[in-house]
Amino acid sequence: MCIICKETIAVLKEYNIKRHYETKHKDKFKNLEGKERVEKFNFLKKNLNFQQNIFKKKCEQNVSTVRASYRVAQLIAKESKSFSDGEFVKKCMLHVIDEICPENKCLFEQVSLSRQTITRRIEDLGLNLFEQVQDRVKHFQYFSIALDESTDMVDTAQLLIFLRGVNANFEITEELGALESLSDTTTGEDIFKALLNTFKNLGLDFENLVSITTDGAKSMIGSKSRLIGRINSKMSELNLSPPIGIHCIVHQQALCGKVLDLENVMSIVVQIINFIRSHGLNHRQFQNFLSEIESEYKDVLYHSNVRWLSREKILKRFFFLRHEIEIFLIEKNKQYTRLNDGELLWDLAILTDITHHLNLLNLKLQGKEKLVSTLLGSVKAFQNKLSLFLNQIEELNFSHFECCATLKTEDCGIFPKQRCIKIINTLIREFENRFKDIRTKEPIIHLFENPFNINPEIVEASLQLEIIELQSNNSLRTTFNNLTSSQNLVQFYSNLSEEDFPNVRKFAAKMSCIFGSTYICEQVFSTMKINKSKTRSRITNEHLHVVLRVNSTKLEPNINVLCQQKQA
């Protein structure tokens, strides 16, 4: 570039530069010589650098404003906010700038946060994340899927497909594979076609599929026309072993809890709570009453049939406020004679204590990236606890039944031991029946959980010699005994020599990627209901998909790359 006229010279050769100068500028500068000529050159050079810096700074500012809009869009998707909230964010931001640094207001005004811009930014973020998942899929040794179907606000069936894959370094990726919208029927064939579409888009290979986890719906399991049957047929066509089918452990546990036959208790509790909370005056007076007597609790909780395990909090609050509730109802001339019934109070105490333990189990089963061995271990522990409770109740030992222990100190009649034993036995049988399918996988789960505590003769032939080698290695045994978490268990297998334990490593990789539950699907469905609500029912399926991807991912979108693409 010519330092005088800023004209670009096509070929930077001395002859071309000299000709350009002599043709266009020689007459103007021919009288400048020596120091004066050098000073003029330095002045022109400094002026050119100044102009270039202004342009460079402007470009950097443009990149920064684009990056800022991407980051706001990402936050809007993460927090399940409306796309139009970007405009409100900008208004707030400009008001803050007016007060703190008004001289920079023009710079912040350049950040585009309109609804259309936020929409495009979220689309870009979703596509970038999808491409990252595609890239990771290429390195999967094995993978599993968890899928669940639910209906959105406008009665469109939405199928969530999550995948968990593991690469050669035992790095686990758990990401949303797809949200497939089923506009017509939701048969096993429809779900299978949607799954095939996801496999195609992500580049997934049936050869590396280890397991499928569902909620156990009729369209998912059963005959050949349903999802699991269609997948098994597909695997058979490809001469592959069928994947492990798992019914969501959390769902099974929740179903077990529903066998408790104590609706007589719940009906009374719900009636009283509704009387107190459904009338504004009653509710305020009850709260004031609890405050006046300095009660530990300040209110009763509403009951919801949808969230069954929230019963424990409601029942526990009701149980420990039962005396205050009785006094308040007498003052309101609303008496429930059964509130003094010893049989009802014992049933209330039993139901509260048992749902407390069920709730603790449910909390242990929830969460992302949990190994199937960890989940099954929690279920087995609970079954052992039920056996302990049975023996203790036989001896009227209420060590783990807080409400029953409290009621024992009051004059509430004889504890219905046989009724309590019947309830616990019902739970024991229900857990045995519900989890009998996964019990068939217990040997391989136990092998994965502790390869040092298993008879090599009962494992498959390809693993036997390596298991013997592993069990004979005292150094590895010591390392294993010092493990503190399921993540460390995966790390233990990743550190095994690929040369000495190739088959054990493959087996562990397969077990590491199994979904024990569809909890992650349920969690994302909750997010879906926030994003596609009564006030946002017009959001398209495509936009809902990208929002859920941005919201649920553990990956970070590459905003710098997106900004470069915008500048290109």
Decide if pLDDT at 293 tops 50.
Answer: no
Q: Report the sign of the C-alpha dihedral through residues 459, 463, 465, 467, in that order.
A: negative
For residues 125-141, average pLDDT: 96
Taking the model in full, what pTM does it have? Answer: 0.81
> What is the percentage of the chain residues whose pLDDT exceeds 70?
82
Question: SS in 3 state form for 64-117?
Answer: HHHHHHHHHHHHHHHCCCCCCHHHHHHHHHHHHHHHHCHHHHHHHHCCCCCHHH
- pLDDT of 305: 47
- pLDDT of 1: 63
Decide if pLDDT at 117 tops 60.
Answer: yes
* Interval 170-203: pLDDT, tens: 999 999 999 999 888 888 899 999 999 999 999 9
Decide if pLDDT at 13 tops 80.
Answer: no
d(CA 57, CA 304): 58
Strand order in the sheet with 244-247: 172-182, 157-166, 142-151, 209-214, 244-247
Decide if pLDDT at 303 tops 50.
Answer: no
pLDDT higher for 268 or 230?
230
- Strand pairing partners for 211? 244
d(CA 152, CA 532): 7
For residues 347-358, average pLDDT: 91
Least confident of 52-66, 189-203, 206-220, 265-279: 52-66
**What are the distances in angstroms from CA 76 to CA 424, 465, 534, 537, 557?**
47, 54, 18, 17, 14
Q: Look at strands 244-247 and 209-214 and give their pairing.
A: parallel
**211 closest CA partner among 353, 371, 77:** 371
pLDDT higher for 285 or 168?
168
Decide if pLDDT at 547 tops 70.
Answer: yes
- pLDDT of 51: 59
Burial of residue 70 (CB within 10 Å: 0-12, 13-18, 19+) is buried
Average of per-residue pLDDT values in the chain? 85
The secondary structure of 445-461 as a DSSP string is HHHHH-TTSS-GGGS-H
Least confident of 55-69, 238-252, 454-468: 55-69
- Categorize the per-residue pLDDT at 34 as very low, low, confident or very high, splitting at 50, 70 and 90: low
**What are the distances in angstroms from CA 353 to CA 357, 358, 395, 489?**
7, 9, 17, 34
Phi and psi angles of residue 213, each rounded to the nearest 5 degrees, phi first: -115, 125
Task: Please name the amino acid found at residue 303.
Answer: H
Give the DSSP H or E segment for 174.
strand 172-182
- pLDDT of 302: 47
- pLDDT of 531: 92
pLDDT higher for 255 or 435?
435
- pLDDT of 296: 47
- Categorize the per-residue pLDDT at 21 as very low, low, confident or very high, splitting at 50, 70 and 90: low
| Residues 146 and 164: beta-carbon distance below 8 Å | yes
pLDDT higher for 163 or 318?
163
pLDDT higher for 254 or 373?
373
d(CA 348, CA 350): 6
Q: Report the sign of the C-alpha dihedral through residues 424, 428, 429, 430, in that order.
A: positive
Decide if pLDDT at 285 tops 70.
Answer: no
